[in-house]
Amino acid sequence: MKTAVTGSTALAVSHGMSQLGEPAIALEPGQEAFDLIEVMEQSGPLSLVHIGPDAPKVMLSYAEQCRDLGLEFSADPGTLDGADAAEFIEGAKFLVTSQDRYQFLQGVTGLSDDEILARVRVRVTTVDAEGVEIVGHDMERIRVPVARARELIDPAGASDAFVAGLLTALGWGMPLRRAAELGSQLAAVVLESVGTHGYTVNHAEFVRLLEESYGVACAAEASAYLLPE
């Protein structure tokens, strides 16, 4: 089963996933949402739909389609406003944002942390230099530190790379902590490159970087997918 990514970040996220050997179905922004039934008829079943920033009616349409079809989706509300934002995240498996965007979401909706978690299953929030915070139902709060980066060249595309790594690892069946570690490491790779698409991933080197940042166990789990025998 495949992952579909939508919105203005679709190409960047899909590029990151393809660098890890798991290309996604990129549904680029437009005036109307793609029909997800037609997408699945052409590409096969979807395990997850990541709905990124787009025109409000398009984002709401994708979320409604996912709910109607019983498809799991992750939501990045971007700058979606007010009632639209509250409706958009309803039923999402994952809410994936930066801390700034999460605070913006709270501001425009008036929803508390608990009220947002009543609408989504898991919140994944990048917190700049503090790493990633993961909060969900019936689980301990998870904190994942930032990955080691040798040199910071260009911040463009790092957030999209994080999403790409996160979605890839979730598609492999990795637990949330490992998925966030993989996403953080891919973001570090992008920070050392120029532009949102100006990077490639050497899988053996990436596994080595994972070991440096997150330890032997993380690297070993990722190598099963990145370095198959």
What pLDDT, in 10s, does the model give residues 117-158? Answer: 999 999 999 998 889 999 998 899 999 999 987 766 556 678
> Per-residue confidence at 161, pLDDT binned at 50, 70, 90?
very high
Domain ranges of the chain: 2-226
Report the C-alpha gap between 6 and 46 in whole angstroms: 13
Question: Kind and range of the H or E element at 132?
Answer: strand 132-136
Q: What is residue 151's predicted lDDT score, i.e. its pLDDT? A: 66
As a whole-number percent, the residues of the chain with pLDDT over 70 amount to 95
Q: What is residue 153's predicted lDDT score, i.e. its pLDDT? A: 58
Report the C-alpha gap between 178 and 160 in whole angstroms: 17
Catalytic residue among 76, 81, 100, 160: 160
The pTM of the full predicted model, rounded to 2 decimals, is 0.95
For domain 2-226, give the fold. UDP-N-acetylmuramoyl-L-alanine:D-glutamate ligase (3.40.1190)
Q: Does 160 participate in catalysis according to the annotation?
A: yes
Tell me: the pLDDT tens digits for 10-51? 999 999 999 999 999 999 998 899 999 999 999 999 999 999
Nearest to 182 by CA among 210, 152, 154, 151: 210
Report the C-alpha gap between 221 and 193 in whole angstroms: 26
Mean pLDDT of the chain: 93
H helices within the chain, ranges in order? 10-19, 36-43, 56-69, 82-89, 99-109, 113-117, 158-172, 176-191, 203-214, 216-226
